[in-house]
Structure 1
Amino acid sequence: MKKLENLNPKRVFHYFEEICAIPHGSGNVDEISNYLKHFAKERNLFVLQDELKNIIIIKEASAGYEEVAPIILQGHMDMVAVKKPEAAIDMKTEGLNLKVEGDYVFAEDTSLGGDDGIAVAYALAILDDSTLEHPRLEVIVTVDEETGMDGARGIDVSMLKGKRMLNLDSEEEGVIWAGCAGGARVDWTLPVEWEKREGSIYEVSVKGLLGGHSGAEIHKERGNANWLLGRLLEALQEVQGFSMAAVKGGLADNAIPREASAIVLVNKDREEDLLRIVKDMEIQVKQELQTKDPGFFLEAVKREEGGCRCLTKESMERAIYLLFCAPNGVQAMSADIEGLVETSLNMGIIELEEAALQVQFSVRSSLESAKDVLIRRLGAIAGMAGVQQKVRGEYPGWAYRVHSPFRDMASRVYEEMFGQTPQIQAIHAGLECGLLSAKIPDLECISIGPNMQDIHTTEERLSISSTERIWNYVLAILKQK
């Protein structure tokens, strides 16, 4: 029995459930891309699958809409695939275990991928319905948006005729997004050396944080487990015989990490010093985060006594320096739009590997110059510690258009349907509108979507009622002449 078959709109949730049954984390998109290609071919629709596995599907106008300007529907097929540490699921090979509770759909112990599976489900339900009224529809479904927008960067859209684009990659009903920040990924690689040490071996962990999307929720100033672990390790250096054997935290560079841990070693007669510092820091940080992230706690668990391969003193000091000194979170707020984050970064992933400590950041700014300065600032810190810095996945911001008839029409339709004027806003999170606008001259874009909570986390929720309202709203926009 299907889990979502009794939800409305039925076709939307039918396709959303089919999408959720296919593993489609970023970098693992072949199967979902082939599914979309097969869908289009079965319905005799034009479909193009490029070398990156991006998909373009075209459906010609319904009767009476042949002269209406085309509309591009756009979303991405990949999701941030994260799971709870104890979950047995392999998200590279297994589908999601969907659940319904009240007004929400979620996935047990994993992220849901409503970002952006719901956009793909909307598009498929539209393409599959021959009774709808609409102009020529050009559907773009990109790959690997969550890891740098590589699909949007590499796609060829020269065949398209549309100059109006409805991006369906937003998570707040009642808001029409009309601009977004640009961004980049920044990777640090610190070469390390090892030595054998003796002592008491502990695992110290940062736990209980809320996490969240590093664009949509960075302004909430929730705790970043990776940065907090760096703060703890810096304090623990005062313990006699302190060494570090492992570090790991975070699951995606654009998700605020909820947990991080390290394996450390101290002299056998200094265990109480370690436990005291952990407890003192827990008290301090709990006070700092008591409103922003109240579930935070630290844990120190003794594993064993004996020999352990640890970083050399020089490698350890450099590693801790990086984790402690790296900037993180909101760097500047917009002076033009109240409440909008202008510039931020998120230390999303840290991992101590055999040859190097790897650190990954997501950098965002609505000002290109501020983004560049922040990247150079990271480079300066990296250079002082002998770290190699690599910048990848840069994407431009999406500039707000003062005059946009398409946005005005969408705003009018919303007000007619729901009796209130939608908010027109810019968003700090990155959207593919900037990259696609650079490829399609004079493209008018708006971005909308149903209510979702805690995307990029295992608590991700999709509102059923909001999904239906936005579905009806999308159909009303397509029906306009």
Structure 2
Amino acid sequence: MLTRLQPSRLWNFFAQICQIPHPSKQEAALRDWITDLAMTRDLAVSQDSKGNLLIRKPASAGMEQVQPVILQAHLDMVPQANADRAHDFSCDPIQPYIEGDWVRAKGTTLGADNGIGVAACLAVLTDPTVKHGPLEVLFTVDEEAGMGGAFALQPDWLEGKILINTDAEQDGDIYMGCAGGLEARLDFTLDFAALPEGYQTYRLQLGGLQGGHSGLDIHEERGNANQLLCRTLFRLQQHFPLKISALNGGTLRNAIPREACAVVALPPGQQAEFIASCHAAAELLRQEYQHTDPAIQLTCTPCPPVEQALTDTTQSNLLAGLTAIPNGVIRMSHAITGVVETSTNLGVIRTEEKQLSAVSFVRSLTDEGRAHLHSVFAAVAALSHAEAVFSGDYSGWAPDPDSAAMQIVQQQHQRLFGQQANIMVIHAGLECGLFKKTYPHLDMVSIGPTIKGAHSPDERVSVSSVERFWQLLTATLAAIPQQ
């Protein structure tokens, strides 16, 4: 079905990629398939200890003296599925379908982020009509779950001088800067006590939210299921002697959570008033998020009884800490109009035996922005008797206004489409910042097609923008000057 789209070679590769499960940290099957493909073409292939893959292709005839270029894409995808769809990302293929100008997946993330970039790189490697100088194609692993591949990249492995990252998600934009990131996790130790006889148990489920990419969509101020459920529980405990037995929500730190749930217990005689209060809270949420999340729902349903719940002290500290965790846009950039400078996303809340972990992902264009939120999370942890654990801190990619690579891409965009591209800085984590740390000489740009709803089952990619992306990519490769 996808193979009837243009450019057919690129779409054919993407269709094959969809058949090979490749969530973060499970990219081996896709990497092996690409390795076999490259070796059948007699291309030089190497792999580092982390699992990053590097393929080298000689220059096209007559272009041997052109500056060497690195094309780059990440192999992993974000595994997100609707609650009503049973999908095992470790073994089930993605099921793409065409809807007008969009390609979507049935009930799951599509993996266009960054599968389209991977497919474009493979198309360049296998299409003899594409003109280019000495070429390296770098496929990294574990980008979505912490940029592990980029962190592990060793010096003296890459030889290229220009790097074209294919992970941008807006046709007509050229990215030349991105935010850095930091994972902030608060671990709460849980003490439980047996419930008295007669307590009634309910399941509070918050869902129907759009979710989305915690960098690209954070400025839209969509509802965060984790934050909203914690806020609701904090308010309900002011009026009812409820006791929490379990609390969970979200699946990934860098995806705005769409669903969260809690199991709570109340003493006899509270049922009618408690359910009425939950209905009132649901109506307030519908009013608050009618423009961004019109399908938001908060339901309260009886569920099988539980034997224990949190002690009063544990629950008080937990709800205070979770409610105080910052979420969303913290500061807009004053240097770049319309761009978020600093944000944070409460992506995951998970109860496991006697510990609850709340995982947030911080993004900032500045080191100070990340440092500030580091302090905020440490303070929340101290006040709520939790332990703060920080990991994966990395700097952003600072814009280079004198970038020759950016100028080449801009010139080709003007020539092909009759208009200038937008030069942008993205509030998302591209691997370019980490590449720059290991290879400070690299001149980098990031381009890509239009992808909407990344990191959610609403993910979709524009067919027409993929064709323009391919035209821009191949024209840029042909226009790279000699050394």
Moved more, 464-473 or 287-296: 287-296
Q: Distance in 2 between matches of 1:375 and 1:383?
A: 12
SS of equivalent to 2:329: strand
From 22, 46, 49, give the equivalent of 1:48. Answer: 46
- 1:401-451, CA deviations, whole angstroms, 9 ceiling, x for partnerless residues? 021111111101101100111000101111001100111122111111001
Other structure's SS at 2:31 match:
helix
Residues 180 and 430 in structure 1, CA contact (< 8 A), matched pair in contact too: yes
Bigger drift between 280-289 and 11-20 goes to: 280-289
Q: Distance in 2 between matches of 1:399 and 1:453?
A: 25
- Paired position in structure 2 for 1:443: 442
SS of the equivalent of 1:330 reads strand
- In the alignment, what sits opposite 1:31? 29
Indicate the residue corresponding to 1:369 in structure 2.
368
Among 140, 143, 153, the residue aligned to 1:142: 140
TM normalised by structure 2 equals 0.97
Contact preservation (8 Å) 1:345, 1:361 = yes
Aligned to 1:103: 101
Equivalent residue of 1:473, what SS? helix
Q: Per the alignment, in what secondary structure is the counterpart of residue 347 of structure 1?
A: strand
Partner in structure 2 of residue 151 of structure 1: 149
Aligned 1:70-149 pairs, distance under 5 A: 70-149=68-147
Q: Which residue of 1 aligns with 2:285?
A: 285
- Report deviation, 1:283: 2.3
CA displacement, residues 59-107 of structure 1 (integer Å, 9 cap, x when unaligned): 1111111011011111100111011112122111111112112111111
Identity of aligned residues (%): 38
- Where in structure 2 are the equivalents of 1:347-362 lying within 5 Å? 347-362=346-361
Partner in structure 1 of residue 393 of structure 2: 394
Question: How far is the alpha carbon of 1:308 from its aligned partner?
Answer: 2.8
1:184 matched to 2:179 = no
| Aligned partner of residue 5 in structure 1, secondary structure | helix
**CA separation in 1, counterparts of 2:440 and 2:303?**
60
Contact 1:148–1:395, Cα closer than 8 Å, also in 2: no
Partner of 2:459: 460
Asked whether 1:429 is paired with 2:420, we answer no
Displacement of 1:157 in angstroms is 4.5
Q: 1:302: Cα distance to partner?
A: 1.3
Unaligned 5+ segments in structure 2 are: none
Matches within 5 A, 1:261-276: 261-276=261-276
Q: What's 2:200 paired with?
A: 200
Report the AA paired with residue 388 of structure 2. Q
Shift of 1:277: 2.1
Match of 1:334 in 2: 333
SS in 1 for 2:163: strand
The answer (yes or no) to whether the contact 2:94–2:105 under 8 Å persists in 1 is yes
In structure 2, the residue matched to 1:308 is 307
Code of the residue aligned with 1:203 in structure 2: it is R
SS in 1 for 2:270: helix
Letter in 1 for 2:51: K
Letter in 1 for 2:338: G
Q: What is the identity, as a one-letter code, of the residue corresponding to 1:136?
A: P
Check if 1:235 corresponds to 2:235.
Answer: yes
Shift of 1:322: 1.9
The alpha carbon displacement at 1:160 in A equals 2.1
> Is contact 1:145-1:151 (8 Å) kept?
yes
Contact (CA 8 Å) 1:212, 1:455: kept in 2 or not? yes
Q: Which residue of 1 is the match for residue 218 of structure 2?
A: 218
**Cα offset, 1:239, TM superposition:** 4.2
TM-score normalised to structure 1 length: 0.97
User: 3-state SS of the aligned residue for 2:82?
Assistant: coil
Mapped partners of 2:226, 2:362: distance in 1: 16
SS, match of residue 319 in structure 1: helix
Equivalent AA in structure 2 for residue 250 of structure 1:
G
One-letter identity of the residue aligned with 1:231: R
Please provide the CA RMSD for this pair. Answer: 1.3
Aligned residues: 478
Q: Distance in 2 between matches of 1:382 and 1:276?
A: 33
Given residue 282 of structure 2, which amino acid in structure 1 is its aligned partner? E
Matched-pair contact (CA < 8 Å) for 1:189–1:359 = yes
Distance 1:438 1:307, change over 3 A: closer
Shift of residue 332, structure 1, vs aligned partner: 0.4
| 1:248 aligned onto 2:285 | no
CA distance in 2, matches of 1:215, 1:459: 16
- Deviation for aligned residue 1:241: 3.4
* Cα deviation, residue 129, structure 1: 1.4
Letter in 2 for 1:341: V
The answer to whether the 8 Å contact 1:20/1:96 transfers is yes
Quote how far apart the aligned CAs of 1:47 are: 1.0
> For residues 381 and 89 of structure 1, what CA distance do their matches in structure 2 show?
36
Q: How far did 1:159 drift?
A: 2.9
Separation in structure 1 between the aligned mates of residue 192 and residue 41 of structure 2, nearest angstrom: 59
Q: More deviation in 45-54 or 109-118?
A: 45-54
Q: Report if the CA contact (8 A) 2:153-2:438 is conserved.
A: no
Instruction: Check 1:329–1:371 CA distance in 2 against 1; reply closer, same or farther (3 A cut).
Output: same
Letter in 1 for 2:257: P
Name the CA distance, whole Å, in 2 between partners of 1:427 and 1:56: 26
2:90 is paired with a residue whose SS is coil
Q: Does structure 2 conserve the Cα–Cα contact (< 8 Å) formed by 1:11 and 1:125?
A: yes
Offset at residue 8 of structure 1 (A): 1.3
Contact 1:241 1:267 in 2 (8 A): yes
Give SS of 1:268's match.
coil
Amino acid at match of 2:473: V
Structure 1 residue 14, shift from structure 2 partner: 1.0
Distance 2:341 2:81 in 1: 30
2:240 and 2:274 in contact (8 A); partners too: no
TM-fit CA distance, 1:285: 2.2
Preserved CA contact (<8 Å) 1:186 1:392: yes
Q: CA deviation at 1:307?
A: 4.6
Task: Specify the code of the residue in structure 1 equivalent to 2:101.
Answer: D
Task: Give SS of 1:135's match.
Answer: coil
> What CA deviation, in whole Å up to 9, does each residue of 1:155-188 have, x standing for no partner?
2251322111110001100000111111111122
Unpaired runs of 5+ residues, structure 1, are none
Q: Which secondary structure state, in structure 1, belongs to the residue aligned with residue 6 of structure 2? A: coil
User: What SS is found at the alignment partner of 1:477?
Assistant: helix
Q: 1:269 is paired with a residue of what secondary structure?
A: coil
Secondary structure in 2 matching 1:146: coil
Instruction: Tell me the CA shift for residue 284 of structure 1.
Output: 2.1
Cα offsets for 1:348-378 (capped at 9, x unmatched): 0001110200111110111101111101110
